[in-house]
């Protein structure tokens, strides 16, 4: 299996208030830019996609995330079908790998600790700081 990771970076304090109104809306921005600029072009036409996300606490939160993901998929994937599946992270090795990559990236950016990042950097094909030009911190 060839593993590749595409990671948009979103410094939450730079996100405008309407982007941070809830967790699903905040993540929707990251998903949109990830699918539009890093993933969609690699998906062949008429491909069926299964988007797997970590399980969430409440039905309301799960529905909110599903709606945001569906909106993103509708804007970025023009052919084929998709479905969203929520699984416990402990039961899905892909989610565990994604968690590790996110953790390694976080340590690189927040603490300037690249030890874990250096182990996976050859697998990262897209790393983009979405709000790198932003100078205003909203909190």
Domain boundaries, the chain: 5-129
| Residue range 30-61, pLDDT digits in tens | 999 999 988 888 888 888 989 888 887 788 99
Closest of 60, 72, 70, 61 to residue 30, by C-alpha: 72
Give the pLDDT score at 38.
86
Which pLDDT band holds residue 104 (cuts at 50, 70, 90)?
very high
Give the pLDDT score at 1.
59
Give the pLDDT score at 133.
92
Give the pLDDT score at 54.
87
Instruction: Tell me the three-class secondary structure of 63-105, residue by residue.
Output: HHHHHHHHHHHHHHCCCCEEEEEEECHHHCHHHHHHHHHHHHH
Global pTM value: 0.82
- Interatomic CA distance for residues 75 and 62, integer angstroms: 20
Average pLDDT over residues 52-81: 88
Q: pLDDT above 70 covers what percent of the chain?
A: 99
Which pLDDT band holds residue 77 (cuts at 50, 70, 90)?
confident
- Interatomic CA distance for residues 136 and 16, integer angstroms: 9
pLDDT of 2 > 80? The answer is: no
């Amino acid at each position: 299996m060839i593993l590749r990771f595409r990671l948009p970076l979103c410094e939450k304090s730079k996100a405008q208030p309407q982007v941070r109104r809830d967790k699903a809306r905040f993540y929707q921005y990251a998903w949109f830019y990830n699918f539009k600029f890093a993933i969609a072009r690699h998906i062949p036409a008429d491909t069926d996609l299964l988007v797997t996300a970590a399980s969430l606490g409440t039905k309301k939160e799960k529905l909110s995330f599903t709606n945001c993901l569906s909106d993103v998929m509708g804007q970025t994937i023009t052919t084929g079908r998709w479905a969203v599946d929520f699984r416990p992270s402990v039961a899905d090795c892909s989610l565990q790998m994604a968690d590790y990559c996110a953790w390694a990236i976080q340590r690189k950016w927040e603490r300037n600790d690249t030890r874990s990042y250096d182990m996976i950097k050859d697998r990262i094909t897209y790393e983009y700081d979405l709000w790198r030009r932003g100078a205003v911190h909203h909190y």
